[in-house]
């Protein structure tokens, strides 16, 4: 019962850290994918870089 008054603060901590974790996941995942793509396609003749395909 001693913890009950502090439960609302746990919600605040969760609300503060979950978006931070989600943003970190998105940045890490995107960076990993870009590096992986660059490494895998570096020796392929005629391969179009991902950014150049969109420019057209």
Instruction: Read off the pLDDT of residues 9-28 as tens digits, 9 standing for 90 and up.
Output: 888 888 888 899 999 999 99
pLDDT: is 18 or 29 the higher one? Answer: 29
Q: Is residue 7 included in any domain, yes or no? A: no
The span from the CA of 15 to the CA of 9, in Å, is 10
Are 41 and 47 in contact by the 8 Å Cβ rule? The answer is yes
Our count of domains for the chain comes to: 1
Q: Is residue 54 a part of any domain in this protein?
A: no
Q: Identify whether 50 is part of a domain.
A: no
* 26 within domain boundaries: yes
> Containing domain of residue 27, as a range?
15-40
């Amino acid at each position: 019962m001693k913890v009950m008054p502090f439960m609302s603060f746990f919600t605040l901590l969760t609300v503060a850290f979950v978006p931070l974790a989600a943003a970190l996941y998105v940045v890490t995942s995107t960076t990993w994918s870009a590096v992986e793509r660059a490494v895998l396609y570096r020796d392929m003749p005629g391969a179009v870089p991902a950014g150049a395909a969109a420019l057209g």
